[in-house]
Structure 1
């Protein structure tokens, strides 16, 4: 028994790999993860745990650069980054200091205001007195990383199942943010990406010449805790419960105390004595009669509301800031959900240029299903074509059948890996599978030809000698394939990465598992002693 296992351990290893792939493909615990209360999208449901990418499930792909300019090789001269950014921003008209960043780690200064031209930025850099190498289009790596994380958070908060975000680089060196969301139409994805998500609270109050606005009484950084969007207990409204931060560095006033003071100064307690008192900003924005809280997203007012009398009294008395909790009220649940997403995810550090250099592509679910069927048909056709050529070549079932079974086991193992890693199957990945079938059968043909080239194999010693010669050939070919495919896998080239990853993975499985197992099978079938 032990001797039999020792002589056939490569075949047993292949069997174990096939069993493991079966578990990964069909065991429920390896299925797509869902958030609490979230259903797996129809595109991801099926008999197996395989997840399908945009090409096969339908959805939207958007590729766009972040808008901005970056000055490289900047000599900071020992000055702190905020001071450098402030000096550059001073040379730009109508540009906020928040749109200029200095990144010491990259020796770079960037501007993310879309209205600033390259010549204006160069002039500002020259006026700042800091020496620099050159100015290029685009933003720094730090900004791209932040933007990637924020978009991932937005997708997660929205519950878009299977959405992915990554940075890709073109052959000419430009960087793009690539977003793929299966099962969603183009308009919803574009709306999510174009929304930079800057949420703030303003106060509109009666002034001598009509409505006056006190801006940015609260900003995103002032919130300590953020609740989820919830439906109002009464009526059709919705709200987001929040808590304002009531701590601050020594000598500074906390956001909660600042907000409380602003509300008291604008007379909310006097204006809202009962539930009948209303904010009339929506009906008469130019001449309000009572002070109102304005909820703004990206500088646009999305809702206006008054204040509960009890909340207004607690702010007037100065007791509210101790707790700092209240509700951002909206008219629609979808609007409350959008505000919650923007508050949690934060604002994008730069605008995505979707309408300019960006590209987008949308695939319907029916079109994706057609691609899936065509891919399955192509795969089956490839298998039958390979099987037919093998039988024509050898006309010996003892050689041809194990060859075909081994090649199919290799693809099956790759599918198991894809299910285990939750890697989305796309057309490029399927092309990798087909390439693996072709190169795999090529290697098996080399093994069979080498073993049978000098006539009958009458001993295991002779078989092992011939097999080793063949294995050196296929090993060298595998190394060449891996080296050739590695740049495609490492560089951010979109779909080509998936093709390269699964081609390399298939080659490794072949060299380490399936080719040796095929050799053991041939040895058992062809040798006498």
Structure 2
């Protein structure tokens, strides 16, 4: 038989060897693997669905998830209630929001969202009916019902928690916050538990306090003018909103000048610039020659001030430079609507500037996270390293145990040795695949690898037992007949496993998803590649013709 005929006759073995070589390249060759980045849509991270991606696994291209690298995991619901099937009575959404907010104690209009039915393409969510939603943990469904009744709005059902559109909006904003804050490898996705939706945030190599500080605020930033007005022959200071968050066009990063003052450069949308300019002029903060702010030292006797307000708290206050004020007086500023938000001097001022920059670029959360109703888990770097070591030890013990049982069972190296090697090859192929797509390995994925070894050896034992069921086999025809019979059994078992694991692989069920995905991949590799290759190897070793 020629070499070409030999290759054609054993093409399954050749395919397995090629996949092993390719997997080895993916595992060890530098620069191999999908591009990494921040968290992506639907909770995926860095092109995968397995959670956050930490640093590379040393000499390999493997990426470790939070459990094997250390970091912080936060799982919490969004605070709020909503009513579906609401009849706005011909009013626009803004009017409904103002009316409902006015009927609820301690609720601002920014906490209320009235959303008509429709398809929200950014989140790829279809909302079947109109919804009124209150983003607060201080409002119950009964109170929302009372506000709707008082406003004269008919409604359908009341629900604890936020709507699906708001949930997906929150995921987008939180993902942007993680990315803008430079927390490499963080992921944000939704998970279901007990019929309730949770937001799952995982950030490798970061402690709890930093992550909580980032996600625990809604990040609503406004520019407010604090200025005096005359009422009843007396002077009263009031706040007038000058720039809303959605009116910003671009936002720079936090910086410090030569004097140590921290600032953020921003620009306003062209369509909003004339209104913003008019507000600054009308409130006299943009008066000829500029204004000097003494808000912190003497708030009841100061010239008009510009306040940076984040989540209802004043971050900084400052006056307006004479040149900027004059350009607003002449109307020239609206042609190039840029200016600088200062936050003061010192390290805390720079941190405030960073928070403002991140919030402006990421956007405001549509609803706050109810951290007190969720869980927070922190894994230190040393714990992650310990988990990696333990996982490696467990994997080696599993392999040695399987190898020992197989050799005791058959006592024939030509049957047992290829069985162990073939089973291990499945793990190598899966590791190569994980390295290529930069899928983060965590404990659930390791469990999937161990399950693949177990199910793989089970199938190979079925093949060996069926082939040798009636003693030695010398005829190739007899071997192939027995092999086909065994293959039908393992094919049916593989189909059952895939069907059983598929819901876990596609549903947002946290760690179970990684386990299911790699178990299914292992079964597919086994049925399509390794089991047939093992059959070819047995045929060569056991038959004479």
TM-score by length of 2: 0.88
Answer yes or no: is the 8 Å Cα contact 1:398–1:525 preserved in 2.
yes
How do 1:161-310 residues align onto structure 2 when only pairs under 5 Å count? 161-170=184-193, 172-206=194-228, 212-232=237-257, 234-247=258-271, 255-268=272-285, 270=287, 272=289, 278-284=292-298, 286-310=299-323
- Aligned residue for 1:450? 466
Q: 1:289 to 1:71 in 2, by over 3 A?
A: closer
How do 1:414-493 residues align onto structure 2 when only pairs under 5 Å count? 414-493=430-509
Q: 1:228 to 1:33 in 2, by over 3 A?
A: farther
Answer yes or no: is the 8 Å Cα contact 1:263–1:316 preserved in 2.
no
- Aligned residue for 2:42? none
Q: 1:272 to 1:304 in 2, by over 3 A?
A: farther
How do 1:87-126 residues align onto structure 2 when only pairs under 5 Å count? 88-89=100-101, 91-98=103-110, 99-104=112-117, 105-107=127-129, 108-126=131-149
Count of residue pairs brought into register by the alignment: 512
1:509 aligns with 2:525: yes
1:123 deviates by 1.4
- Which secondary structure does the structure 1 equivalent of 2:203 belong to? strand
Q: State the distance in 2 between where 1:380 and 1:96 align.
A: 59
1:45 deviates by 5.2
TM-score by length of 1: 0.91
Question: Any gaps of 5 or more consecutive residues in structure 2?
Answer: 39-51, 118-126
Answer yes or no: is the 8 Å Cα contact 1:35–1:159 preserved in 2.
no
- Which secondary structure does the structure 1 equivalent of 2:202 belong to? strand
Answer yes or no: is the 8 Å Cα contact 1:88–1:100 preserved in 2.
no
Q: State the distance in 2 between where 1:147 and 1:508 align.
A: 36
Question: Any gaps of 5 or more consecutive residues in structure 1?
Answer: 248-254
Answer yes or no: is the 8 Å Cα contact 1:69–1:112 preserved in 2.
yes
1:130 deviates by 4.2
Match for 1:157 among 153, 165, 180? 180
Q: State the distance in 2 between where 1:468 and 1:47 align.
A: 41
Q: State the distance in 2 between where 1:69 and 1:494 align.
A: 24
- Aligned residue for 1:361? 377
Answer yes or no: is the 8 Å Cα contact 2:176–2:362 preserved in 1.
yes
Please identify, of 393-402 and 88-97, the stretch whose mean Cα deviation from structure 2 is larger: 88-97
1:148 aligns with 2:161: no
Q: 1:90 to 1:336 in 2, by over 3 A?
A: closer
Answer yes or no: is the 8 Å Cα contact 1:32–1:51 preserved in 2.
no
1:71 aligns with 2:83: yes
Answer yes or no: is the 8 Å Cα contact 2:224–2:308 preserved in 1.
yes
Q: State the distance in 2 between where 1:44 and 1:376 align.
A: 16
The two structures, once aligned, show a CA RMSD in angstroms of 2.3
Answer yes or no: is the 8 Å Cα contact 1:56–1:426 preserved in 2.
yes
Q: State the distance in 2 between where 1:15 and 1:77 align.
A: 69
Answer yes or no: is the 8 Å Cα contact 1:148–1:166 preserved in 2.
yes
Instruction: Show CA shifts across 1:158-194 (max 9, x none).
Output: 1111111111111x31100011111111111111111
1:84 deviates by 5.3
Q: 1:318 to 1:187 in 2, by over 3 A?
A: same
